[in-house]
């Protein structure tokens, strides 16, 4: 029950704080709150008094309440909409006019002057220094009401309604009590609203700060997405250029060599030589298309690895066998020092693509007669697989953008081998999709070591 009452009280307080902007000063917020309370109180009293007036057959007073109640509602509405100066002036004028109307209806026998003090208190509580014209206008209204009251009381103006002495005493007593209680209550509301106003403004500011932070984060994310889209479009343009140039040329070579082998009379030695060239061109096209197709699929559908547990050395040996032609062509020595029982948790197809790209890079940038060392180091929950070559190394300016989509990092190998520039970028994406990572250690002319940090099974 107490919880429900507190919830309803909180809702009422929030409703009465309508019209207060987040950047409002404390005093301004208090005056807006006070105007809302005053308008709501006048509306409530006017609405509630209609029923007893009708029941006691005092229809004129019921009509007066019925007339002023919508005006008080209008005052609350305009104040809640932020039109505080107009709302306050209208509210004060309506209260003053309401008092004057009752003075005229009751005549000189009912002392309406008891409401002048609350009216003056309301005048000073409603307005601040920036609303001096509204304050002056309201002051004039008070002066007019006071003069009218003086005339009513001193010139013995008769009542529109007939009252006996007992009713006159009761009405005067009730009005004295209402005036005194109203003055104290309104002053209390204004003074005690400081803490509530501070809490409300703090709550509003916190809410706005949270909304601002969310908007800021959304903006950053939107800008990031837009930049990524621009980068992706640029990358696609470059890839189309690569496909049209670097893939077309090897395919043309394949066609030319095939036609030469079919149409020309050539020796067995020449056939062998042409066969090696065919294989070299076909291998280059295969590796390039493999990377391009894998990357394209990842961009369209995302990477969804199928994690399996497998022996690391078996897959390494399998990829080395596939690269035997390139290794023999450059007379490279490959040393593998990976324990036979080491297992990793990885998508095996993705691992093969990653390892193949790293191994091809080692072959590409190693000189004839060089060496490639492959070894594994077992940590707590990872296997650090290192592929070290004795090649030309990586300059610092290229190392910084090694895994980016900047295709300008692509370099010619030691035997003029070409590349697309997307191999290492693809490796990075595949490794991250499998909860793995890669590190690079390199010095110009002193070789390069790629370290694949793989999850243990």
| Claim to verify: residue 201 and residue 319 sit in the same structural domain | no
Pair type for strands 371-378 and 333-337 = parallel
Residue that finishes a domain, picked among 192, 217, 242: 217
Nearest residue to 40 via CA among 48, 52, 50:
48
| Distances in whole angstroms, Cα of residue 396 to Cα of each of 181, 412, 453 | 83, 17, 22
pLDDT higher than 60, residue 199: no
- Asked whether residue 57 is assigned to any structural domain, the reply reads yes
| Claim to verify: residue 102 and residue 198 sit in the same structural domain | yes
Residue that finishes a domain, picked among 217, 247, 277: 217
What's the domain count of the chain? Answer: 2
- Beta partners for residue 15, in sequence order: none
CB 186 within 8 A of CB 118: yes
| pLDDT band for position 302 (cuts 50, 70, 90) | low
| pLDDT band for position 78 (cuts 50, 70, 90) | confident
pLDDT in tens, 203-233: 666 666 677 777 778 777 777 777 767 766 6
The pLDDT, as a whole number, for residue 6 is 46
- Asked whether residue 247 is assigned to any structural domain, the reply reads no
CB 115 within 8 A of CB 42: no
Residue that finishes a domain, picked among 164, 191, 217: 217
Lowest pLDDT segment from 76-85, 309-318, 338-347: 76-85
pLDDT in tens, 91-147: 888 888 888 887 777 776 777 777 777 777 777 777 777 777 877 887 787 777 777
CATH of residue 444: 3.30.565.10
Measured distance CA(181)–CA(169) in Å, rounded:
18
- Asked whether residue 51 is assigned to any structural domain, the reply reads yes
- Asked whether residue 298 is assigned to any structural domain, the reply reads no
- Asked whether residue 295 is assigned to any structural domain, the reply reads no
| Claim to verify: residue 202 and residue 313 sit in the same structural domain | no
For 298-307, the CB contacts below 8 A with 24+ separation are 298/426, 298/429, 298/430, 299/232, 303/350, 303/429, 303/430, 303/433, 304/433, 305/346, 305/347, 305/350, 305/430, 305/433, 305/434, 306/347, 306/349, 307/345, 307/346, 307/347, 307/434
- Asked whether residue 436 is assigned to any structural domain, the reply reads yes
pLDDT higher than 60, residue 408: no
| Claim to verify: residue 197 and residue 322 sit in the same structural domain | no
Lowest pLDDT segment from 107-116, 292-301, 427-436: 292-301
| Claim to verify: residue 190 and residue 320 sit in the same structural domain | no
pLDDT in tens, 432-445: 889 999 999 887 77
The pLDDT, as a whole number, for residue 245 is 47
Q: pTM for this structure? A: 0.46
Give the residue-averaged pLDDT of 322-327.
Answer: 79
Domain that holds residue 128: 2-217
């Amino acid at each position: 029950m107490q919880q429900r009452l507190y919830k309803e009280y909180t809702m009422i307080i929030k409703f009465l704080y309508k019209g207060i902007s987040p950047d409002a000063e404390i005093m301004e917020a208090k005056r807006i709150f006070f105007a809302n309370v005053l308008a709501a109180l006048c509306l409530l009293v006017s609405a509630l008094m209609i029923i007893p007036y009708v029941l006691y057959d005092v229809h004129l007073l019921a009509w007066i309440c019925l007339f002023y109640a919508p005006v008080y509602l209008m005052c609350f509405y305009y104040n809640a909409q932020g039109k505080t100066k107009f709302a306050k002036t209208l509210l004060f004028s309506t209260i003053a006019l309401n008092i004057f109307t009752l003075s005229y209806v009751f005549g000189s026998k009912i002392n309406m002057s008891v409401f002048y003090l609350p009216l003056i208190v309301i005048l000073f509580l409603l307005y601040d220094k920036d609303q001096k014209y509204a304050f002056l206008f309201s002051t004039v209204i008070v002066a007019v009401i006071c003069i009218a009251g003086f005339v009513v009381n001193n010139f013995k103006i008769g009542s529109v309604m007939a009252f006996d002495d007992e009713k006159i005493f009761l009405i005067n007593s009730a009005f004295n009590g209402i005036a005194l209680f109203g003055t104290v209550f309104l002053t209390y509301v204004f003074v005690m609203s400081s803490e509530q106003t501070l809490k409300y403004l703090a709550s509003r500011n916190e809410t706005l700060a949270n909304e601002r932070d969310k908007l800021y984060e959304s903006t950053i994310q939107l800008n990031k997405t837009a930049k990524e889209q621009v980068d992706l479009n640029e990358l696609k343009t470059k890839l189309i250029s690569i496909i049209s140039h670097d893939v077309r040329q090897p395919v043309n070579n394949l066609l030319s060599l095939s036609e030469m082998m079919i149409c020309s009379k050539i020796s067995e030695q020449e056939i062998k030589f042409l066969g090696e060239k065919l294989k070299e061109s076909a291998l280059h096209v295969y590796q390039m298309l493999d990377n391009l197709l894998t990357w394209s699929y990842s961009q369209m559908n995302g990477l969804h690895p199928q994690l399996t547990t497998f022996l690391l050395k078996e897959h390494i040996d399998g990829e080395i066998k596939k690269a035997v032609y390139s290794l023999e062509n450059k007379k490279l020595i490959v040393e593998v020092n990976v324990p036979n029982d080491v297992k990793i948790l990885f998508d095996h197809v993705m691992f093969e693509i990653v390892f193949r790209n790293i191994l091809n890079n080692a072959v590409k940038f190693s000189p004839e007669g060089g060496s490639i060392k492959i070894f594994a180091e077992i940590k707590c929950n990872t296997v650090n697989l290192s592929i070290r070559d004795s090649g030309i190394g990586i300059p610092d300016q290229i190392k910084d953008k090694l895994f980016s989509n900047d295709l300008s990092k692509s370099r010619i190998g030691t035997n003029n081998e070409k590349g697309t520039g997307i191999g290492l970028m693809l490796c990075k994406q595949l490794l991250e999709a499998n909860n793995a990572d890669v590190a690079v250690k390199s010095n110009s002319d002193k070789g390069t070591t790629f370290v694949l940090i793989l999850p243990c099974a």
